[in-house]
Structure 1
Amino acid sequence: MSTPRSAAPTALTALSNLDDPLRRRLFEYVAESEEPVSREEVAAALDIGRTLAAYHLDKLADAGLVEVDYQRPAGRGGPGAGRPAKVYTRTTTEMTVSVPPRDYELLARLLVSAVEQDTDGTVRAAVNEAARDAGRRAVVDSGGDLLEALRCCGYLPGADDEGRVHLRNCPFHLVAQDHLDVVCGLNLRLIEGVIAGSDHPDAHAELHPRPDRCCVVIEYDAESHPRSSASPAPIDDETHPD
């Protein structure tokens, strides 16, 4: 959610946790994971010790930046299965801090409302073209990489082996809740702009709304699987804070 002015110091404290490079890497790994991840999985992915991973994950959870649940490994249940393991997922809560305070969400809602009141389609057409242009600019900034350009636009993309890129979040979720038709259309045009200038120009974006996901899915040639250059690299810092 957008943070009200009185809550800004709390949000600022929470977000300050991401100043630590290792903690930020852990946060990004959890946020981009399709399923809840355990301490062991995070430790293995980032090439750090389990104790160090647990320490930073719990700090992120305390700050409200990730959510905690408990699960038993698949296929294990009943007496003797042991205690459920702690797992972590990205939070659905949004934190926004502006210094001095600003309300960009209000501006977005006003602009989207103006599009909805457009009677001849002129405003909507102009906004859609602006969204495509923004997507093309994001591709330039990312060096042409499709997944990196999507990340630059605020999406959490994941490519499967069946020729699809799923977007695990909507960067405009708060506005989309009340203006779904306009925001989904803007998402589609923005992503079309990204595709047009990317290293996968033959990919195709289409609307496929699902809960807790972006309304757009990208279809591409499975033989030219998009691979991001931003995969996690090993971290050598094993120093455990007190």
Structure 2
Amino acid sequence: MNSEAGAGTDGLQGLSALADPVRRRLYDAIAAHDEPLTRDDAAREVGMARNLAAYHLDRLVEAGLLTTTYARPPGVGGPGAGRPAKRYHRVREERTVSVPPRDYALLADLLATAIDGDGSGALRRALMQAAEAEGRAAGAGGRELMEVLAERGYEPAVDAEGDIVLRNCPFHRLSRTHTELVCTLNQALLGSTLETRGEDPARAELCPHEGRCCVVIRTEASAAQKGLAGLSG
């Protein structure tokens, strides 16, 4: 299976590509799926002709917002199976533009490094307290939980079991170098959000998964069942 990454890595180029409403619709359709989509799939998702969708999808690849792979459908192979289909999926690296240049990612990395290196644990405790305060602010106001999560950049979706999976980590870049710190921060923030809403904070459970936030928000029933299991143990 071959892989092809977009050549465009400039933040402005990537963001300007999304100014086109057609390309934004296609990008959103691709981003809404964990698995790559073919041109036909993407065209059906947004209701446009395949050739037009293919053109705009390839422009998004050039802008560095999508990447491509080639694969046949599951279970299809061998002689006569035909050529593998081109499939598109979202690039995980974020694109940012700052004029004049600013480097908040470096600042975040320096702060996280300092916290991890603090043997007293005081900096980590202060960070978790700040995360919990942010969670309380997010949980106030009576809005729907899914709306709150989407606003914070978590891209929530409900899976087959009814749990809320978070398809994006708002701190993705930092999570690669300070994984444990970021995961703990996410759990503290989300648990506090739930508690402020009058819900069980234990529903925010650490459950690392490739390409997603490390926290899953369990259903109330499964959280209660685990709580009872813990008490009986």
Q: What is the TM-score of this pair, normalised by structure 2? A: 0.80
Mapped to 2, the partners of 1:43 and 1:137 lie a distance apart of 40
Mapped to 2, the partners of 1:138 and 1:28 lie a distance apart of 24
Query: Structure 2 counterpart of 1:174, which letter?
Result: R
**Which runs of 5 or more structure 1 residues have no equivalent in the other structure?**
1-7, 224-242
SS of the aligned residue for 1:89 comes to strand
* Deviation at residue 153 of structure 1 after TM alignment: 1.8
User: Could you tell me the percent identity over the aligned residues?
Assistant: 48
Mapped to 2, the partners of 1:59 and 1:128 lie a distance apart of 42
* Counterpart for residue 116 of structure 1: 116
* Deviation at residue 202 of structure 1 after TM alignment: 4.3
Partners of 1:162 and 1:222 within 8 A in 2: no
* Counterpart for residue 33 of structure 1: 33
Q: In structure 1, which of residues 198, 201, 209 is the aligned counterpart of residue 199 of structure 2?
A: 201
Task: Within 5 Å, give how 1:41-80 maps onto structure 2.
Answer: 41-80=41-80
1:189-215 deviation per Cα after TM superposition (whole angstroms, max 9, x unaligned): 1222333355x9347011122333321
* Counterpart for residue 186 of structure 1: 185
Mapped to 2, the partners of 1:23 and 1:70 lie a distance apart of 21
RMSD: 2.6
* Deviation at residue 61 of structure 1 after TM alignment: 0.9
Larger relative contact order, structure 1 or 2 (CA cutoff 8 Å, min sep 6): 1
Q: What is the TM-score of this pair, normalised by structure 1? A: 0.77
Going from structure 1 to structure 2, the CA distance change for 1:53 and 1:104 (only over 3 Å counts) comes to same
* Deviation at residue 107 of structure 1 after TM alignment: 1.5
* Deviation at residue 138 of structure 1 after TM alignment: 3.7
Mapped to 2, the partners of 1:9 and 1:158 lie a distance apart of 29
Partners of 1:163 and 1:221 within 8 A in 2: no
**Which runs of 5 or more structure 2 residues have no equivalent in the other structure?**
1-7, 223-233
Partners of 1:167 and 1:213 within 8 A in 2: yes
Mapped to 2, the partners of 1:193 and 1:140 lie a distance apart of 10
Partners of 1:202 and 1:220 within 8 A in 2: no
Partners of 1:144 and 1:197 within 8 A in 2: no
* Greater Cα shift, 208-217 or 55-64: 208-217
* Counterpart for residue 132 of structure 2: 132
SS of the aligned residue for 2:216 comes to strand
* Counterpart for residue 24 of structure 2: 24
Going from structure 1 to structure 2, the CA distance change for 1:60 and 1:112 (only over 3 Å counts) comes to same
Mapped to 1, the partners of 2:118 and 2:159 lie a distance apart of 38
Residue 78 of structure 2 is aligned to residue 95 of structure 1: no
* Deviation at residue 36 of structure 1 after TM alignment: 0.9
